[in-house]
Structure 1
Amino acid sequence: MDTPNTTAAPAETIAVAMSGGVDSSAVAAMLAAQGHRIVGLTLQLWNQRRLAGREGMPESVQGRCCSIDDVYDARRVAEQIGIPYYLVNAQERFEDEVVRPFVDEYLAGRTPIPCTLCNNHLKFDQLLITARGIGADKIATGHYARNRFDAERGRWVMSRPADKSKDQTYFLFGLTQDQLAHTLFPLGEMEKPAVRAMAADQGLELAQKPDSQEICFIPGGSYSQFLSAYLDEQGREMPASAGELVSTSGEVLGQHEGIHAFTVGQRKGLGISAPNPLYVLKIHPDSHRVEVGEDEQLYSRTLHANRLNWVSLAEPTEPIRVTIKIRHRHEPAAATLRVTGPDTVEATFDEPQRAITPGQSAVFYQGDEVTGGGWIF
């Protein structure tokens, strides 16, 4: 019989990851109201004022997840519902395992996803380490996902949530079986409006707090500004990667100042004119060439991924049918997936997909279940 991991057994000690947003706050209040022993944990990941005003970075740090205001909100909710609360300093790990890899990937002409790096390599690992250190049986988060144990397969299976508009499984594909076994997703069966209503019923002042939209260490969403500011702070020079903008036939159309300023699918900022709109098709790190072309040339049927994690099943020995998300807001597209070597797969889509981007995640699904995922190369 399958065992859902959305509710806890009676009288468990549960560490709730509190981000200061309405979702995690509602989870903490819900589990406390159910009679569980709750401890609130917030990971301090980044000094929000660290690069403020440097190299064009804004002074304001409003509207980002994990900001100092979010920490204050999380602490206030913990006090309101009467649970212990701890702020865990994980800034050094975050810089080593998220920020520096992000910088290196971007400078190499790829487009990484910091939130996925954070979840896969740091957040859940650190939360479980801290939870076990304080005697908690499980952790719970405000992510919209579902989690259950399938006895027949002998595996924990993560699935898309009831509220598909809030689906966060794309960012969670790297969770291990041990992590899934000790994690609760209490909001997996709920719609976002119901979560806000529940928070309001619990008397939480932040029930209508807007969702955070920006990456915690990149205000305004300007990756290139962040790269300049971070390298300047570190006393590092921006690597020389100026080169040529070229057509698919190799014709030189213009010059650029560095491959870090481009991502596949980009239209703006190319600095060249043409009869039809041009988009970045490929970035060639070795030659520093940026290949551009028309929108129809962005489409491809083939994807390669590595650094894989298998969730609902072990590594397949035969080709399997899946749907694949290549971006968070991408509608999963039908494909055939086959293992091509140690820790690598190739996917062939039924229909061409737009802007398959190296450095991004590819997450594989069968129905709502997360089969696994990897990183596009």
Structure 2
Amino acid sequence: MVKKGKEGKKVVIGMTGGVDSTVAAYLLKKQGLEPIGVTFNFYKEESSQKPGEECLGTCQSKSLVSIQEVCDKLEIPFYGVNASHLFKERVLDRVLTARLGGTAFSPCVYCNILKFDLLVEKSKKLGADFIATGHYAKVVKNIKTGKFQLISANDREQDQSYYLSALDRIHLENLLLPCADIRRSEVEQIAKSLGIHFVKKGDRNRLCFMKEKNFSFYIQKNAPPGMLNNGGIFNFEDGVPIGDHGGVHHFYIGQNKVKALDNVKIEEDARVVEIDRKTKNVYISKTKNIRYSICEVINYKQDPDTDISSPIKVFIQFSQLEKRQACFLYFKNNDTVVLKFQEEIIGLLVKGSHVAIYNGLGAGAKIIGNGTLNSFGFFDKSGKFRSLPDPEEVELEIYGQEDLKLDLSLKIPRKEKDVTF
């Protein structure tokens, strides 16, 4: 429900033509506000488009004309904004740089930062008091500090707070999320009652950035020629050749679903653990062969209200689809933290991925920090897995009471050499 005093206020809402944003706009209007629909044109595919589809963006399921029709049905104003140049600069180019460097990048997180920057800008131009989207997350005001904070939605299965975890308080202070307090099943029921035809978008929590074939085409078009040379795929432990690939730009550390040329079959649990850019060779290993118990997060931004005087227990999430994991957080400096997991975990983390840090597991858990995964657990030269020192020792090192060095690289033994990444 809209709190007293907000009735009649203007709110700029990001529209995709999908169920969530449409129902969000409907709820805002029903609760007494004056929603204004806005759609951003972020990226136009190279393939030919039908008339009226010039505004197709990364998270849109409908054409500009169709979104206009949805807004007409709701009887709200609608604006289309061309932001393709900003999307290229702030998302596409960064994804390209990361992929060429052999690391991942979380496009949806940074795409959302761009969206909310544009929503704030558009709201000022239109004289609106609030911004809104159809995301499943909640914004609450801290009674003691008066500051706004992002927390998990009531519907944990549909919660999208991970995607919004990098938003600043300038985005949160005037943000309305009408779908936060209801379940997706209820949203779908409301959508049916509106009599609007929606195009099915598939799994709404999966990467909406670009279709893989279009993404590969974009990389091939913009990558340096030397990066596009074919190379070999080898088993990491013994160096046995498995197949050939069409260029190292197709791979990043931690990647699964590895594909080789000529339909050579690669086991489903294989992950990329090394990329040799000189030889253009890619090395893979089975997930079960890799373990970690620590990781380092850089570019860390924390909630100013969080007590950093001692280590704290937190819950970390590495992607929208993964479950949160319990760990201890140690502050190293202003933008770097070390995370120690309660148990050793089998698998490989994806270097460069966005990390969201919560203070709990369930609905209402607060985002207390976010950053970029830099490095994680390690093996020593003898091939024995090494875990982080005891929390007491780590605390001494991090808080300057004793000079202890933490090796945060991951080494997997191979016959020829040890490789660190």
TM-score (norm 1): 0.83
The equivalent residue for 1:362 is 355
The equivalent residue for 1:75 is 68
The equivalent residue for 1:86 is 79
Question: Equivalents in 2 of 1:275, 1:210: separation in Å?
Answer: 29
The equivalent residue for 2:419 is none
SS in 1 for 2:12: strand
Distance change (3 Å), C-alpha of 1:81 and 1:354: same
Equivalent of residue 231 in structure 1, options 222, 226, 235: 222
Question: Equivalents in 1 of 2:232, 2:66: separation in Å?
Answer: 48
Given the alignment of the two structures, is residue 52 of structure 1 paired with residue 47 of structure 2, yes or no? yes
Shift of 1:185: 1.0
Question: Equivalents in 1 of 2:163, 2:250: separation in Å?
Answer: 24
1:75 partner amino acid? Q
Shift of 1:273: 8.0
Question: Equivalents in 1 of 2:349, 2:5: separation in Å?
Answer: 39
The equivalent residue for 2:168 is 176
1:95 partner amino acid? K
Shift of 1:166: 1.3
Moved over 6 A (4+): 4-8, 271-277
Distance change (3 Å), C-alpha of 1:346 and 1:299: same
Shift of 1:99: 0.6
- Over residues 60-106 of structure 1, what are the superposed CA-to-partner deviations in whole Å (9 max), with x where a residue is unaligned? 99x98444834333211211122211111111111110111111111
Question: Equivalents in 2 of 1:128, 1:209: separation in Å?
Answer: 29
Distance change (3 Å), C-alpha of 1:68 and 1:26: closer
The equivalent residue for 1:16 is 13
The equivalent residue for 1:193 is 185
Distance change (3 Å), C-alpha of 1:189 and 1:211: farther
1:20 partner amino acid? G
Shift of 1:244: 5.9
Query: Is contact 2:256–2:269 with CA below 8 Å preserved after alignment?
Result: no
Question: Equivalents in 1 of 2:269, 2:29: separation in Å?
Answer: 55
Aligned length, in residue pairs: 359
The equivalent residue for 2:123 is 131
TM-score (norm 2): 0.75
Shift of 1:257: 4.8
Question: Equivalents in 2 of 1:47, 1:275: separation in Å?
Answer: 35
Query: Is contact 2:18–2:60 with CA below 8 Å preserved after alignment?
Result: no
The equivalent residue for 2:404 is none
Question: Equivalents in 1 of 2:238, 2:336: separation in Å?
Answer: 30
Shift of 1:130: 0.8
2:95 partner amino acid? F
Distance change (3 Å), C-alpha of 1:311 and 1:67: same
Shift of 1:155: 2.7
Question: Equivalents in 1 of 2:200, 2:267: separation in Å?
Answer: 45
Q: Output the aligned Cα RMSD.
A: 3.2
Question: Equivalents in 1 of 2:93, 2:230: separation in Å?
Answer: 22
Shift of 1:274: 9.1
Query: Is contact 2:18–2:61 with CA below 8 Å preserved after alignment?
Result: no
SS in 1 for 2:322: coil
Given the alignment of the two structures, is residue 294 of structure 1 paired with residue 282 of structure 2, yes or no? no
Q: What percent of counterpart residues are identical?
A: 23
Shift of 1:340: 1.8
Question: Equivalents in 2 of 1:224, 1:132: separation in Å?
Answer: 37
Shift of 1:109: 0.5
The equivalent residue for 2:323 is 331
- Structure 2 residues without counterparts, runs of 5 or longer: 375-421
1:117 partner amino acid? Y
The equivalent residue for 2:250 is 261
- Structure 1 residues without counterparts, runs of 5 or longer: 54-59
Equivalent of residue 376 in structure 1, options 373, 389, 392: 373
- Could you say which structure has the larger radius of gyration? 2
